[in-house]
Chain A
Amino acid sequence: MNLSFRTNVNTDSVRATSLIGLRNGQLSDLLFTAAVWGAFLTVTVVFLWLVGDVLIRGVGALSWDFVVSPVIDSGRSGGIAPVLVSTACIVAVALAVAFPLALASAILISEFLPRTGTVSRLVIVSFDVLAGMPSIVFGLFGNALFNQLLGFGYSLLSGGLTLACMVLPFMIKANIDGLRAVPRSYREAGDALAMSRASILWHVLLPAAIPGIIAGVLLGMGRALAETAALLFTSGYVTRMPESLMDSGRTISIHVYDLAMNVAGGDQMAYASALILVVLLIIINFTVVRLGDWIQRCSLRA
């Protein structure tokens, strides 16, 4: 072993250059600190600009009347009552269809399939593709399948079914997270009591996974509320109060889009509707995030 440590290197060179190095280092440290603060401040300013804009322009036209009146003059006056009803119907259809499918798939994946097996990886990849698919593509698919092939036409039903396909991967993922957060010991305790898989699931796992399941439903609701492009050619544009699921109707997102793009002088009302939409989404999203944090803390404790 070479015991003459660093004989042919000028030892002092490290220390000497390091003095310069340190000064350089401090300068670049300063620049980098400025950069990260700059990035954050930029984001904050744009955020305030965006949110402030929606808030300030939206609040002016907002009133109880606005919520309960019919749409008049393409939305330039009146309110958004039928739009809210259509939105509720579409979201309800989407969730009613997606929820059981999502929960069942989540249970199969988290409880019955090996976690790292090829099958579950393939399944997960297919969900990722589904989650990343552009919403307009869902719209075309929904139009071809529900509107035309199944003959539902432009209707709340077609829109809701299309959205169900769209929100599925997000709901499944939230449900899987919820189920996986349930401590392993619960399952083992159930097995030790010689309970069947079905009754362990029903009496032990599902109750314990309720936060994750709620998070999944809320997430799906948020996605559905925010969606526009997938509905343009499935649920349609109609502003009348829907009488059945087979009627066409527009969601609040489409209403915002239509007022902004196609109705001259509709900006004010677009902002008012956007404000309602944004407030709903922020509430939903915050609940989901808090539930997620909570689930994670529970699973860490377990």
Chain B
Amino acid sequence: MDRITEAVTCTQKQENTSGNICLCTESLCLSYGTRAALENVSIRIPSRSVTAIIGPSGSGKSSFLCCLNRMTDLSGSTTVGGSVHLGEHDIHRDLGKNPIALRRRVGMVFQLPNPFPFSIWKNLALPLTHHGVANKRELSGIIEQVLRRVGLWEEVGGRLRDSALTLSGGQQQRLCIARALVLEPEVLLMDEPCSSLDPLSTKRIETLIGQLKDRYTIVVVTHDLAQARRVADHVALFWNVDGVGRLIEQGSAARIFQHPQHELTTTYLEGQL
């Protein structure tokens, strides 16, 4: 236990802080009711790059993502401690009671595609109209561009009025990414975005992530270490220690994969290679 805490502080000191830090947490804790799920997570996520969150199942990766855009508010019994900074702002204190403004800046894509049971068009137009884009021409322009961006335009551009539920799983997931992009968030959180997809769709989404990172800060949870190698610039490893999720090691992808410092990291990387 002490050994781990030591290791955590040690990796933090060694972390090179080149580039702007977009998101950073300080001793973040999360509990569901009385059960702690995350403890003492202090992470720094550089802007305009891809950070992969890896770790075994149940180590609190999804829970961690939910802290970043306050999806944790959804259930009344969760409590969050510590702080999360987005740029200069503390997302709890400065953005106060209004998680809407935060979620406007921090988009999210879920593990299972979750398009609304409406037309493709309406799925994309809905967030835009809510956030004040009423002009139909402008809507069409934005929708066409996000669809091109995720490579869906060629596939579904002609049938925007069809129900989004008629799309294949991979198309649905790309639609969900497009939907998250229409609001031009600064940060995009992706929770295992490829876990329900075939290799081809996975490839497309990985390419997409590569293209998006020069505009967005991307945090992606993945179980696929090869994927993390392919897309990530930075990597953070979570581990379930005595039933509570902890951050074990973080750093640039190259360093973590080549010179892991913590023995759990070594074990995890070896176990899967």
A5 vs B141: C-alpha distance in the bound complex, in angstroms? 11
With contacts A2-B148, A3-B211 known, is A18 near B142, CB below 8 A? no
Segment at the A interface, from B78-86, B87-95, B130-138, B158-166 = B130-138
CB of A21 within 8 A of CB of B130, answer: yes
Q: How many residues of A contact B (CB 8 A)?
A: 19
Closest residue of chain B to A7 (Cβ to Cβ) is B145
Distance in angstroms from B199 CB to nearest chain A CB is 19
A25 vs B104: C-alpha distance in the bound complex, in angstroms? 13
A11 vs B145: C-alpha distance in the bound complex, in angstroms? 12
CB of A18 within 8 A of CB of B138, answer: no
CB of A5 within 8 A of CB of B215, answer: yes
Option from B100, B132, B148, B184 in Cβ contact (under 8 Å) with A11: B184
A20 vs B149: C-alpha distance in the bound complex, in angstroms? 27
Binary interface encoding of chain A residues 23-37 relative to chain B, with 1 for a CB under 8 A from any of its CBs, else 0: 011000000000000
* Chain A neighbourhood of B100, CB < 8 A: 22, 25
A20 vs B130: C-alpha distance in the bound complex, in angstroms? 11
Query: Within 8 Å of chain A (Cβ to Cβ): is B7?
Result: no
Query: Within 8 Å of chain A (Cβ to Cβ): is B269?
Result: no
Query: Within 8 Å of chain A (Cβ to Cβ): is B151?
Result: yes
Binary interface encoding of chain A residues 1-18 relative to chain B, with 1 for a CB under 8 A from any of its CBs, else 0: 111011011010111011
CB of A13 within 8 A of CB of B151, answer: no
CB of B151 within 8 A of CB of A1, answer: yes
Distance in angstroms from A26 CB to nearest chain B CB is 8
* Chain A neighbourhood of B132, CB < 8 A: 14, 17-22, 24
CB of A14 within 8 A of CB of B141, answer: no
* Chain A neighbourhood of B149, CB < 8 A: 1-2, 5
* Chain B neighbourhood of A2, CB < 8 A: 145, 148-149
* Chain A neighbourhood of B197, CB < 8 A: none
* Chain A neighbourhood of B145, CB < 8 A: 2, 5-6, 9
Distance in angstroms from A32 CB to nearest chain B CB is 13
Query: Within 8 Å of chain A (Cβ to Cβ): is B225?
Result: no
Binary interface encoding of chain B residues 110-139 relative to chain A, with 1 for a CB under 8 A from any of its CBs, else 0: 000000000000000000101111000010
* Chain A neighbourhood of B133, CB < 8 A: 13-14, 17, 21
Distance in angstroms from A30 CB to nearest chain B CB is 13
Distance in angstroms from B83 CB to nearest chain A CB is 24
Option from A6, A8, A22 in Cβ contact (under 8 Å) with B131: A22
Query: Within 8 Å of chain A (Cβ to Cβ): is B183?
Result: yes
With contacts A1-B148, A11-B184, A24-B132 known, is A18 near B141, CB below 8 A? no
* Chain A neighbourhood of B104, CB < 8 A: 18, 22
A239 vs B183: C-alpha distance in the bound complex, in angstroms? 73
Distance in angstroms from A4 CB to nearest chain B CB is 9
Closest residue of chain B to A18 (Cβ to Cβ) is B131
CB of A17 within 8 A of CB of B131, answer: yes
A2 vs B100: C-alpha distance in the bound complex, in angstroms? 30
A5 vs B211: C-alpha distance in the bound complex, in angstroms? 10
CB of A22 within 8 A of CB of B184, answer: no
With contacts A2-B148, A2-B149, A6-B145 known, is A25 near B130, CB below 8 A? yes
Query: Within 8 Å of chain A (Cβ to Cβ): is B10?
Result: no
Distance in angstroms from A14 CB to nearest chain B CB is 6
With contacts A9-B138, A9-B145 known, is A14 near B130, CB below 8 A? no
Closest residue of chain B to A4 (Cβ to Cβ) is B145
Distance in angstroms from B151 CB to nearest chain A CB is 6
* Chain B neighbourhood of A1, CB < 8 A: 148-149, 151
CB of B131 within 8 A of CB of A21, answer: yes
Binary interface encoding of chain B residues 147-159 relative to chain A, with 1 for a CB under 8 A from any of its CBs, else 0: 0110100000000
CB of A22 within 8 A of CB of B101, answer: yes
Distance in angstroms from A237 CB to nearest chain B CB is 54
Option from B130, B142, B211 in Cβ contact (under 8 Å) with A6: B142
A238 vs B149: C-alpha distance in the bound complex, in angstroms? 80
Extra contacts besides A9-B142, A18-B131, A22-B101 (20): CB < 8 Å: A1-B148, A1-B149, A2-B145, A3-B211, A5-B149, A6-B141, A6-B184, A9-B138, A9-B141, A11-B184, A14-B131, A14-B183, A14-B184, A21-B130, A21-B131, A21-B133, A22-B132, A24-B132, A25-B100, A25-B131
Would you mind naming 8 contact pairs between A and B with Cβ atoms under 8 Å apart? Answer: A6-B142, A9-B138, A13-B138, A14-B128, A21-B133, A22-B100, A22-B101, A24-B132
Shortest 3 CB-CB distances between A and B: which pairs?
A: A21-B132, A17-B132, A18-B131
